[in-house]
Amino acid sequence: MIKSYWLAPGDLCLGADVIPAVYAELPEFREGGSLEQVTERMLAATEDAYRYELLVVDNGRLIGFACVLVDDDMHVGRCLTLQWQYVVPEHRGKIGGEFLRWLVKTGRKLGFQFVAYSHRVTHRHYAIKYRRLNHG
């Protein structure tokens, strides 16, 4: 179901099609400027890095996207981080769980001690979660 792609800085974001839905649904994004301004910021943050992009497509429609990259986190050091993700409302739950399982599996395979991801709690409130990976 999930297709993963390893991309280099300068490669175009494969999940850019979800940005208008993110902008329409989440008020904190609309507070950051116009759709064009927010799109430019999100793409710059995504396209300037080596990263994995995870896509879930259903009947030709992009229904889930995640951007995963290596981060030098101030709390746990070098870790694999799910930088941002979006799943269309009618497909939430299962796909988000699949993204997290992919993150953990890939983090273990690449030898990371930790993975990190954020979770939207409420408007303007995001929680960062860390998970220590067992390698045994």
| pLDDT tens sequence across 116-130 | 998 888 888 889 999
52: phi then psi, degrees, rounded to nearest 5 = -100, 140
3-state secondary structure of 62: strand
The confidence score (pLDDT) of residue 125 equals: 87
Three-state secondary structure call for residue 10: coil
Structure tokens at 3: 């297709």
Which positions ≥6 away from 126 have C-beta within 8 Å? 118, 119, 120
CA quadruple 46, 129, 100, 64: dihedral positive or negative?
negative
Q: How many CA atoms lie within 13 A of 121 on its CB side?
A: 6
Average pLDDT over residues 92-104: 94
CA distance 39 to 19: 6
List pLDDT tens digits, range 58-84.
Answer: 999 999 999 999 999 999 999 999 999
Is 93 a residue whose pLDDT tops 90? no
Alpha helical stretches, state H, 3-93? 19-25, 27-30, 35-47
Average pLDDT (98-122) is 94
Which CATH class, in words, describes the domain spanning 2-132?
alpha beta
The model carries a pTM of 0.91
Domain segments of the chain as ranges: 2-132
Average pLDDT for 18-36:
92
